[in-house]
Structure 1
Amino acid sequence: MRVSARLLNVVLAALLFVSLLVIFSDLFGKKEIAVPAPVPDPTPPPPTGDFLSDRISLKRNFVSNHPIARPPRRMIEFYKLQVPQRRAYLDAVIESMSKNYMYLYNNLAPEAYCPELVRVGTTNDGGKWICSPFRIPSACNILSLGMYNEITFEEELQHITDKRCNLFAYDMNRQEPQTMIRLKKINVGVRVAEISAETNEMKKRYTVESLMKLEGITTFEILKIDIEGSEFQVIPPLLRKHKPAQVLIEIHGTPSETVWLLRDIASQGYWLYSYEINGAWHHLCEYSFIHESAFNQYGVTPMAKYLN
């Protein structure tokens, strides 16, 4: 009986405590609970077939002397007229700290016109939009930061350029044996390295500068980067010291964080020419930039810069 009485007292006390919590919650306001992002519906089964190998097997010749196409002047002028509004909406994103991506994505547009904009690698997640890879100069260096065993971009780029450049690839995880075989086949140098703002060799963390020293290079033409959020610490100092012709980057951040990084990249002389929102996770988006010093090399026409 004593045990039952004690148990009853404990239950009554617990109920009283919960009731008081509810009452005081109503009096002083309920704290908003963060709701996690909904998990997207599963994708349908992917189509079968090795599409990249099929394309490469055709052995097409991409050498061409066709003149560069330029956008009409009235198109450029119209883009320029929209600059104040685009900037105003992006300012609103920064100032509000909202987690809503509408003002960011609805106000993005190319700042520069690339007449030979192509997607290299898989047409699904993992491929990259790049401006005229056919014009990449010989004996250049290309850095690929982040692979995750998805290397169709590296494979097709090496095919397009006939392996005329040195391609170095890094990932924080060791790649699968089959991936390593494919990378060796296309002459890609590979290292296990977590890209970081500081080097710690014991933990296999490296700055891009440290990796460049290990490879014995001082410049690079193309930077492909997908490092799961570390871009916010890595990219700003890197682009203050180095100016690759093109930067292909996936940004993982809130709207305000993304606008901040886009503007920082733009402040270093880069112009946005392509972007692609991730269809499953809207906080992820691919951006392709070209430096103004590389406009002539890649046949690019500046239109209207609003990020800087």
Structure 2
Amino acid sequence: MLKLPLLGQRHPRYTIALAGLVLCAYWFLSSSAPPLRPVHYNANHELKARLEREERKYRDMVPQRHDLITKFGPTPAQVVMFPPDQDPWPAYTVWDFFPPVFNCPHELDRLGALGDGGKWICGISRIQDKPDCVVYSFGIDSSYSFEAVLLQSTRFCQVWIYDSTKGDGAKNHIPRSLRHRVHFAKLALGATDRHGASDDPKRWTLRSLMSENGHSHIDFLRLDVEGWEWETFRAIIRDFTMERGSPANGASVWGVPEREGVLPFGQLQIELHVWNQRFQDFLEWWELLEIAGLRPFHNEINLIYANYNRGSGVELAEYSFLNVRGENAFIKDYVPVEPETDHVARENEQEAERLQRIRHGAGPARR
């Protein structure tokens, strides 16, 4: 019987050639680009109907607010924010006039720490694979749990964190593996731009910051600005919307003149501080948010602050709003695109194709 020589018994040239072939194959396979992961997105075919139903329900609530004002006012100027514990005992606080009756049309999640720091958001599945996801967060203090969990729950979201007392050193509060998607700056959000060399703290309007960063939209806007939210948000609405010109329209169902235009964010998470606020001022501010397309879908009264300040009212509350105008990802289905962050994988794939052409030729011409 004919015996074939073992590998080591062959001519050394065959052994060297075989080893070279194995090494080349290994190098080629290991240098090939990994397959691009597709952007995952589930369209919500019931979304339009859900939003229309919630909008009808919310508008039906507004006359009830007016009735409550008439009952305890009878005008907004006569409504007390937190009635005293004495006869008569009206069963309300200011928060009862502004219930979050607009249901989130997606899943509802609380991101971040229990107690102070966590935020309620609507439909994180809508942006977990969104290539151009943008988050702005103002007023961090010492709690970064919401931002950290949001980063962990999404693939591409970039988070801009702003605080007038903290700078880039705050990045140590974010897990190291996520810091490449976080941007820090020591500044405050304001109603006007005041960020010259002598301004301290430096204040930027939202419009100026977005222009500086090259952004046309924000998916999540989070604010905890310790009482500056009133004038700041009036400025945001003034900068991005405008009152309709015809005075014949008069006041809308909301009680303030109609406005046109779209606010540049999909959701707003904000802590309201009603220190020294009068009911009529709060009502006018709230109606401006409504007329601009914001609908509250969740609130959380800050009972930690109430416990520390038992002599005052329950003056702090977290609210989450959905923007029902425009084309944001929470109210419109969108077509996913290949994320720009995969450009390295694309370059690797192109390089692998180039090497293959060098080794094996360009192949037959396409017709």
273, 282, 285: which one aligns with 1:261: 285
Instruction: Indicate how the Cα distance of structure 1 residues 250 and 272 shifts in structure 2: closer, same or farther if over 3 A, else same.
Output: same
Separation of aligned partners in 2, 1:103 and 1:296: 33
Instruction: Give the 3 Å change call, closer, same or farther, for CA 77–175 of structure 1 in structure 2.
Output: closer
Displacement after TM superposition at 1:271 (Å): 1.2
Aligned pairs (5 A) from 1:65-80: none
Partner of 1:174: 166
**Residue-by-residue CA offset, 1:22-42 (whole Å, 9 max, x unaligned):** xxxxxxxxxxxxxxxxxxxxx
Cα 1:145/1:287, change in 2 over 3 Å: same
How far has the Cα of 1:276 moved from its partner?
1.2
| TM-score of the aligned structures, taking structure 1 as reference length | 0.66
Q: Which residues of 2 match residues 152-167 of structure 1 at below 5 A?
A: 152-162=145-155, 164-167=156-159
Contact 1:111 1:273 in 2 (8 A): yes
Going from structure 1 to structure 2, the CA distance change for 1:218 and 1:100 (only over 3 Å counts) comes to same
Who is 2:233 aligned against?
235
Q: Which runs of 5+ in 1 are unaligned?
A: 1-61, 301-308
Residues 77 and 141 (structure 1), Cα distance of their counterparts in 2 relative to 1, 3 Å cut: closer
Unmatched runs of 5 consecutive residues or more in structure 2? 1-39, 84-91, 241-262, 307-313, 333-367
- Contact 2:188-2:204 at 8 Å conserved across structures: yes
Alignment root-mean-square deviation, CA: 3.2
* Alignment match, 1:55: none
TM-score normalised by the chain length of structure 2 = 0.56
- The answer (yes or no) to whether the contact 1:248–1:289 under 8 Å persists in 2 is yes
Paired residue for 1:248, among 265, 269, 294?
A: 269
Distance 1:88 1:197 in 2: 33
Q: 1:78 to 1:67 in 2, by over 3 A?
A: closer
Whether 1:197 aligns to 2:191 is: yes
1:285 and 2:317 aligned: yes
Q: Aligned in 2, Cα 1:75/1:219: closer, same or farther, shift over 3 Å?
A: closer
Cα deviation for residue 237 of structure 1 reads 2.2
The one-letter code matched in structure 2 to 1:227 is V
Check whether the contact 1:276–1:285 (CA below 8 A) recurs between aligned residues: yes
Quick one: which of 78, 81, 88 aligns to 1:99?
Answer: 81
1:52-77 Cα distance to aligned partner (Å, 9 max, x none): xxxxxxxxxx9878986987x99998
Higher RCO structure (Cα 8 Å, ≥6 apart): 1
Distance 1:296 1:176, change over 3 A: closer
3-state SS of paired residue (2:265): coil
Alignment of 1:43-82 (within 5 A): 82=61
One-letter code aligned to 1:246: Q
Amino acid of the residue matched to residue 301 of structure 2?
Answer: I
Q: Does 1:129 align with 2:135?
A: no
Question: C-alpha separation between the residues in 1 aligned to 2:138 and 2:320?
Answer: 15
Change over 3 Å in CA distance of 1:90–1:141 after alignment to 2: farther
**Structure number with larger C-alpha Rg:** 2
